[in-house]
């Protein structure tokens, strides 16, 4: 099989979808790997490193003219011209953006395989989890940075000073993002509260992972009180493959003290704060109601070396299965993988995306197409 790895062109996105060592493993199995020139530089992988492992360096167009394209982030509009019935394996977050990308995928008969909805045998999201962990760690560090007075913040440090705690952090969501954000905040020494909806799960987290954290049930009443007294609020809400619900209302944000910070990690799926809007690493924040909002849609791209290594560790087993087993056999035999198929040869196969984007008439069940 011919496998292409384009250079990511999203603003300040330094990750690459395949390392030289991963490419070598595929090449040794008889596959061809084509990597765009300079695709790995920001992640620490030189052109020569790819070539010495058997990779063919190519242009962007040539990287797309293959059987399987492996990326990191969703294609940008300038890349739609390359769509031509190939398989595309990457993060899509189709429900969190307008329908232009989905329409382009459908019209070009691409098969879109989404990292974020691929499940393993335990029903977990192994590829999304790796990036969620990095984003969760980042959320606390970014929040602490923007709380500094020179960065428009209120001047509160998250941490323990001479045995006394300073700074309060609210994490909305208790999944991978929320767990890592809470751990990082506890590590700094801040007072941390996590809001969730499953009391048994929160009790397990309290006993097994986060003994220093206070847990609350996420309701409008509890959130109104907790948001108002928090210096940093981290949005870590996930609805698999769907738009994130707006858990934090604009009224709640208005009640936060001036110079507080919001980091909305759910922004890839539309954000879980009513006041959130997508930002970039070039212009990462905006201020609304006196509160600094950080809503970068590709947070792990700020740490491309770590993120690339973690991402490739998670994706490579599935790439191997895909190229060795074949797409149709993999869909038939792996229910978790089949959940990653959002578009199959130009047919919309994700009912959630169809509902979120108003494309119900384009939806077809995957099993009807195989």
Q: What would the pLDDT profile of 3-28 be if each residue is shown by its tens digit?
A: 999 999 999 999 999 999 999 999 99
Confidence of residue 114 (pLDDT cuts 50, 70, 90): very high
User: Would you give the DSSP letter of residue 8?
Assistant: P
Are 99 and 93 a contacting pair, CB within 8 Å?
no
Q: What tens digit of pLDDT does each residue of 275-332 get?
A: 999 999 999 999 999 999 999 999 999 999 999 999 999 999 999 999 999 999 999 9
Q: What integer pLDDT is reported at residue 191 of this predicted model?
A: 98
Mean local confidence (pLDDT), 177-201: 97
27-64 per-position pLDDT tens digit: 999 999 999 999 999 999 999 999 999 999 999 999 99
CATH number of the domain that residue 298 is part of: 3.40.50.720
pLDDT of residue 240: 83
My answer on whether 40 and 100 are in the same domain is yes
Q: Are residues 67 and 17 in the same domain?
A: yes
Distance CA 213, CA 210 (A): 6
Alpha-carbon distance of 316 to 291, in angstroms, equals 40
**Looking at the predicted structure, is the pLDDT value of residue 259 above 90?**
yes
Q: One of 174, 231, 264, 268 is an active-site residue; which one?
A: 268
Q: How confident is residue 368, by pLDDT bands cut at 50, 70 and 90? A: confident
- What average pLDDT does this structure show over 70-82? 97
pLDDT at 97 over 80: no
Element spanning 184, H or E: helix 176-188
Is 90 exceeded by the pLDDT of residue 370? no
Whether residue 227 has pLDDT greater than 80: yes
* For residues 137-165, average pLDDT: 97
Q: Tell whether 178 and 312 lie within a shared domain.
A: no
Contacts of residue 243, defined as CB under 8 A and 6 or more positions apart, other chains included, come to 95, 96, 269, 270, 356
Task: Check pLDDT > 90 for residue 98.
Answer: no
Pairing assessment for the beta strands 111-114 and 341-344 based on DSSP bridges: antiparallel
pLDDT of residue 96: 81
Mean pLDDT of 130-145: 97
Q: Measure the CA–CA gap between 177 and 138, rounded to whole angstroms.
A: 10
- Could you say which of 93, 180, 264, 356 is catalytic? 93
Stated length of the chain: 370
User: Average pLDDT over the chain, rounded to whole?
Assistant: 96
- pLDDT tens digits along 203-215: 999 999 999 999 9
Say if residue 274 is in the same domain as residue 309. no
Is residue 141 domain-shared with residue 102, that is, in the same domain?
A: no
93 is catalytic: yes
Which of 35, 93, 30, 135 is CA-nearest to residue 352? 93
How many CB atoms within 10 Å of residue 367? Answer: 10
| CA–CA gap between residue 21 and residue 367 (Å, rounded) | 35
Note whether residue 127 is domain-resident.
no
Under DSSP, the state recorded for 40 is T
pLDDT exceeds cutoff 80 at 241: no
Same domain for 154 and 247, yes or no, is: yes
Instruction: Name the residue range of residue 28's domain.
Output: 2-117+303-368
Mean pLDDT of 115-124: 94
Determine which of 80-84, 207-211, 276-280, 361-365 has the lowest per-residue pLDDT on average.
Answer: 361-365
| Same domain membership, residue 351 and residue 271 | no
Domain co-membership, 296 together with 155: yes
Residues 168 and 230: beta-carbon distance below 8 Å: yes
Tokens of 138: 């980042």
Given the DSSP bridges, would you call strands 285-288 and 159-161 parallel, antiparallel or unpaired? unpaired
* Burial of residue 129, with CB atoms counted within 10 A of its CB: 0-12 exposed, 13-18 middle, 19 or more buried: middle
Residue 124 domain flag: no
**What is the pTM assigned to this prediction?**
0.92
Taking CA 342 as the corner, what is the angle to CA 238 and CA 133, rounded to the nearest 5 degrees? 35
Any domain includes 272: yes
99 and 141 in a single domain? The answer is no
Do 47 and 181 lie in one domain? The reply is no
Is residue 122 assigned to a domain?
no
Domain count, the chain: 2
Q: What percent of the chain is modeled with pLDDT above 70?
A: 100
């Amino acid at each position: 099989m011919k496998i292409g790895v384009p250079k990511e062109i999203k603003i300040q996105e330094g990750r690459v979808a395949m390392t030289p060592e991963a490419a070598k493993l595929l090449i040794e199995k008889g596959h061809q790997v084509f990597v765009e020139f300079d695709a790995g530089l920001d992640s620490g992988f030189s052109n020569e490193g790819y070539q010495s492992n058997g990779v063919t360096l190519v242009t962007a167009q040539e990287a797309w003219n293959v059987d399987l394209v492996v990326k990191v982030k969703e294609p940008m509009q300038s890349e739609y011209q390359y769509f031509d019935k190939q398989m595309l394996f990457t993060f899509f977050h189709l429900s969190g953006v307008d329908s232009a990308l989905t329409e382009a995928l459908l019209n070009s008969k691409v098969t879109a395989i989404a990292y974020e909805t691929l499940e393993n045998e335990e029903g977990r999201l192994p590829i999304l989890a790796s990036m969620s962990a990095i984003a969760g760690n980042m959320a606390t560090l970014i929040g602490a940075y923007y709380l500094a007075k020179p960065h428009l913040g209120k001047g509160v440090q998250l941490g323990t000073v001479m045995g006394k705690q300073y700074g309060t952090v609210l994490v909305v969501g208790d999944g991978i993002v929320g767990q890592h954000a809470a751990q990082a905040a506890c590590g700094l020494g801040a007072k941390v509260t996590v809001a969730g909806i499953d009391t048994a799960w929160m009790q397990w987290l309290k006993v097994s992972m986060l003994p220093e954290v206070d847990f609350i049930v996420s309701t409008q009443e509890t959130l109104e009180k907790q948001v108002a007294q928090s210096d940093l609020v981290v949005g870590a809400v996930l609805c698999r493959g769907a738009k994130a619900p707006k858990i934090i209302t604009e009224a709640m944000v208005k009640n936060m003290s001036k110079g507080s910070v919001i980091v909305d990690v759910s922004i890839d799926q539309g954000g879980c704060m009513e006041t959130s809007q997508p930002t970039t690493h070039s212009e990462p924040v905006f201020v609304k109601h006196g509160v600094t909002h950080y809503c970068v849609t590709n947070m792990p791209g700020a740490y491309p070396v770590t993120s690339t290594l973690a991402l490739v560790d998670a994706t490579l087993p599935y790439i191997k299965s895909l190229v060795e087993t074949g797409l149709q056999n993999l869909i038939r035999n792996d229910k978790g993988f089949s959940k990653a198929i959002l578009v199959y040869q130009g047919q919309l196969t994700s009912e959630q995306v169809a509902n979120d984007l108003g494309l119900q008439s384009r939806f077809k069940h995957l099993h009807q197409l195989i």
